[in-house]
Structure 1
């Protein structure tokens, strides 16, 4: 035992706490200074921390005393258990109270008893701080869950549901008419720090939300109200631009403004813009891409085809449709994280849809066709639209002037003589079902070169090709329309036949 004056002992305890010492370290120091074994019994009646050598079996013999102390009926008790002198003292003002227990061969001296009392107060403060920190973490976790739920409702176009989720404390974003989605790429460890840094008292981020993407661990999805009048640190996304300027590992993709109910479209644009940003020196890009094929096809005829193509899915349950809408764009593991399902469950839903439609979702052209049909039926209908009874085949739609003009315009940046290599690689990559290894073998290139060509194509086309499937589908459609896409033969043949839009029958 090292005997110190009361003031010196307390000062040493405080120095230990300032060095981030926890309850166990405080108890060990107290045991050395008093010569007694020491334990901290928490509010649940269990030993939460103890010095080395504390006889834990002793707690059973002290049950009655511990109950009286925890209930606040007495503040301190001194008793003997066998040949041991036991002192128990309670702390805090809320029941059940924690108890500090000291055990020794003899009673504590005055200086030691005072030091024990001071140490108990410090341990109580540490305990309360830990509980407060736990409460803060719990609040932040619940707030993050609510932000994710609100974003999910917005991505589904259900603004009313998003407002209901906020139960009276509606974030400014939900009062905005238009929204831009900012998609921030950053190290995964930075995401939680950023969401905490810019968190407001209501659990939101001023006129925006910052939501950890559940699929891509390096991304923060940040819809922000496109309303300069709201001001604040998120006005027009200035905070995100500053983060990119100050952090070399960051990149930012920004959508165009969209109606709040069209947040999903804004998110899709932000995905494409981020792909461009990551391949740009400034690491920042706003979406300036061309419209997708679904937006240029003749409305009535395209909708009739889409409804006919999706007709077999009427027989599958709604959860399967929810999975399929995501599975055409994200990997199955990504869909599982988005919907909080197991990958096995996602696979079962995909198999059910494949059986209903007689398709293979492992084929990129199949996914592109299904995505086109889903996109067409998801577009807002015009009240003046009339239903076309006879559904044309997709090949007929792809030969029409709007589709051919779109495809030529879409692929034009790659047809420049300076970009022939990315163009050829893109063709071979889609022929190979987006398999980089097979593409490299077919072209006699390394896989790194293939990926470099695809990244160049991302920048030129303003489309994401390597993260989600949405940009790949536009490429598949454009190559189909121009006749440059060749049908993929079985892998073992090593041959690729020409593909024609006339080959599409539905």
Structure 2
């Protein structure tokens, strides 16, 4: 039973039936429906018998009979239904003579064995299905939170609302670990409800080495003397005990700002690789949209994005996702083909009249989209903005933001970053322009990631800040 139940491909029914034939001398078949379909049988089993037994097999499969003995030509046939629930499989034994009492007992025993094996296999499938469904539900809840829709998450989980949705604030932990480990971690700390206590652990559908963990923000881990409890403390222990692990931790956010928390955790994870203990907590820095003149930046963003009023919301939403991750990653996230994602982006490009494969255009559109999300547009609209993007970036507050952003960089890493942006984030072109190897470019970029605390190479969520900061520095120099 142990050997058969542990087979990855399922139990070998044929092997069991052949063993029974050797012990009793009769041919055996396992019929899985009343129509006489044999799932497995011994070599040489007389299949014509099953066609003659169709009415009997239908009655046994439906639960009207448990055992039956009959004659089919010169063959003596014994049938036993397996299991308590219909439609029941039927074990059919056929031989030239009536089996002995010992053989009958062995046929019955084998039938019970097969019934147990099938039940064990069914339980295993149910368990795997349950794990798959709970992961899907956790991912749906996380997706609703990342979309700023905690109420939608509650509606999706009516009757089994996760505790995280009853919290006022959340904190997001982004764990980097080998792909095989994250499934074991999520399963090891899963509670009977399919959640993880007061939080969620969800395998990232885009990056195979990321486990997204959302917990209630009832503690200040970055504060002096602050300590983590529960599953957050478990994550710290896992990172401490596994050199291949790293952890980025966001600041505390209200439930509707989970997307901002994810961005912070991604930046913190980029810095974690060079941090003591491979753990980094996000320390708030002012955002570019927060230091720009509010009215003027709102006018500029509205005029830039006005063509999207005639574009489908789906295309706009998909394009918004491509601002922060590769198109192939967006395709995996949404279950679409890469060509479909590209088609949606092309529609937006045609509306805006911009090439979104250019990193500077993407940075400008990303800034406009961020402004439109953080500051609702007022008034009936604007015909022409009073300020260009360069005008907005020439302000003293923008210059101070850029200086603070770039301050941690060494001069050589700053040159590499500038060359990389000038090459439209193509490391090979940047290497050729600087006369160094592509590996050196990657090394400099990884060092810059850690120094800046911005994700540049994994999801690329920090590239837009670097584009604007370097542009501002160039404007000041000019």
Give the TM-score normalised by the residue count of structure 1. Answer: 0.86
Match of 1:491 in 2: none
Of residues 124, 133, 139 in structure 1, which corresponds to 2:130?
Answer: 139
Q: In structure 1, how many angstroms separate the alpha carbons of the residues matched to 2:72 and 2:289?
A: 82
Q: Does 1:365 align with 2:360?
A: yes
**Per the alignment, in what secondary structure is the counterpart of residue 88 of structure 1?**
strand
- Greater shift, 302-311 or 51-60, is seen at 51-60
- How far the C-alpha of 1:431 sits from its partner, in A, is 0.7
List per-residue Cα deviations over 1:48-72 (Å, max 9, x = no partner). 3333443455433321121111122
Match of 1:91 in 2: 82
- How far the C-alpha of 1:158 sits from its partner, in A, is 1.0
Matches within 5 A, 1:206-285: 206-227=197-218, 235=230, 237-280=232-275, 282-285=277-280
CA 1:313–1:64 in structure 2 vs 1: closer, same or farther (change >3 Å)?
same
CA 1:55–1:455 in structure 2 vs 1: closer, same or farther (change >3 Å)?
farther
CA 1:294–1:29 in structure 2 vs 1: closer, same or farther (change >3 Å)?
farther
Q: In structure 1, how many angstroms separate the alpha carbons of the residues matched to 2:48 and 2:389?
A: 78
Matches within 5 A, 1:295-314: 295-314=290-309
Q: In structure 1, how many angstroms separate the alpha carbons of the residues matched to 2:5 and 2:332?
A: 40
Q: Which runs of 5+ in 1 are unaligned?
A: 1-13, 484-499
List per-residue Cα deviations over 1:328-365 (Å, max 9, x = no partner). 11111111122222222111111100011111111011
Q: In structure 2, how many angstroms separate the alpha carbons of the residues matched to 1:108 and 1:422?
A: 85
Match of 1:172 in 2: 163
CA 1:73–1:314 in structure 2 vs 1: closer, same or farther (change >3 Å)?
same
Q: Is the 2:175–2:213 Cα contact (8 Å) retained in structure 1? A: yes
Match of 1:424 in 2: 415
Q: Does 1:32 align with 2:22?
A: yes
CA 1:501–1:423 in structure 2 vs 1: closer, same or farther (change >3 Å)?
closer
Q: Which runs of 5+ in 2 are unaligned?
A: 221-227
Q: Does 1:100 align with 2:91?
A: yes
Q: In structure 2, how many angstroms separate the alpha carbons of the residues matched to 1:287 and 1:502?
A: 30
CA 1:444–1:36 in structure 2 vs 1: closer, same or farther (change >3 Å)?
farther
Q: Is the 1:422–1:457 Cα contact (8 Å) retained in structure 2? A: yes
- Greater shift, 316-325 or 273-282, is seen at 273-282
Q: In structure 2, how many angstroms separate the alpha carbons of the residues matched to 1:292 and 1:403?
A: 10
Q: In structure 1, how many angstroms separate the alpha carbons of the residues matched to 2:275 and 2:42?
A: 58
Match of 1:60 in 2: 51
- How far the C-alpha of 1:102 sits from its partner, in A, is 1.8
Q: Is the 1:308–1:391 Cα contact (8 Å) retained in structure 2? A: no
- How far the C-alpha of 1:403 sits from its partner, in A, is 0.6
CA 1:253–1:31 in structure 2 vs 1: closer, same or farther (change >3 Å)?
farther
List per-residue Cα deviations over 1:424-474 (Å, max 9, x = no partner). 111111110001111111122222111111100000000000012321111
Give the TM-score normalised by the residue count of structure 2. Answer: 0.91
Matches within 5 A, 1:120-199: 120-199=111-190
Structure 1's consecutive aligned runs of 4 or more residues displaced over 6 angstroms after TM superposition are: 385-388
Aligned residues: 465
Q: Is the 1:187–1:218 Cα contact (8 Å) retained in structure 2? A: yes
List per-residue Cα deviations over 1:361-381 (Å, max 9, x = no partner). 110111111111111111155
- How far the C-alpha of 1:174 sits from its partner, in A, is 0.4
Root mean square deviation of aligned Cα: 2.5
